[in-house]
Structure 1
């Protein structure tokens, strides 16, 4: 199954995000078999991210939750909240990049 995972970061925690960014990027690379797409969300390109979005392939929401709890951004306390939603591609021929 595919899931969209929406993260909200704690406001004012940009320095914590910067401190753990490389560990997070390395973690995403190690889990790209499940985390198909990942990236930050911002109001403007130059803004500090407000959170992130993942597209995850997993057998259940429980597996997604267990996975995200091992992410350095989660373990360092950056995340304020998370929403895990079932997601379906509108056009099957589109490739996730």
Structure 2
């Protein structure tokens, strides 16, 4: 599939939030202890996640954190979902960051969300989200 042009797809409804969780001291023990509760939580809410999983240093074996792409209507809603995860409630993470994220291109969304480069040029320059009038679904 490499080398083929990505198809245009409708921009996903809702807002996507990137949640970056970095492990704190003793995380390996806490991760093992709370694995079942964490998996029950993410399985129960799996439709809210674009993707999620642990991360490590390149070439490393040890897990050092987790990344979640979560769909929601508001940041407070996403924080509420995340704060019910046993990995967060047990204090495993030293830090949890929330960022708005735009799903723009890739396999997870099945293509790209812009019809032309001009449709998104204003966003690349830091302009307002004039998506509808610029041909961006």
TM-score normalised by the shorter chain: which range applies?
0.7 to 0.9
Match of residue 128 from structure 2: none
1:13 and 1:57 mapped to 2: Cα distance? 26
1:43 and 1:11 mapped to 2: Cα distance? 16
21 and 64 in structure 1: CA distance in 2 versus 1, 3 angstrom threshold: same
> TM-score, normalized by length of structure 2?
0.63
Match of residue 80 from structure 2: 66
Cα drift, residue 28 of structure 1: 0.4
2:73 and 2:62 mapped to 1: Cα distance? 33
Structure 2 counterparts to residues 3-82 of structure 1, below 5 A: 3-44=17-58, 47-82=61-96
Cα drift, residue 90 of structure 1: 2.1
Structure 1: runs of 5+ lacking an equivalent: none
2:63 and 2:72 mapped to 1: Cα distance? 26
Is residue 11–residue 50 contact of structure 1 (8 Å, CA) maintained in 2? no
- RMSD of aligned residue pairs (Cα, Å): 2.0
Report which of the two structures shows the higher radius of gyration computed on alpha carbons.
2
Stretches of 4+ moved more than 2 A in 1? 44-48, 93-96
Structure 2: runs of 5+ lacking an equivalent: 1-14, 110-137
Q: What do the CA deviations read for 1:14-42 (whole angstroms, capped 9, x no partner)?
A: 11111111211121010112123110011
Larger relative contact order (CA 8 Å, sep ≥ 6): 1
Alignment coverage as a number of residue pairs: 96
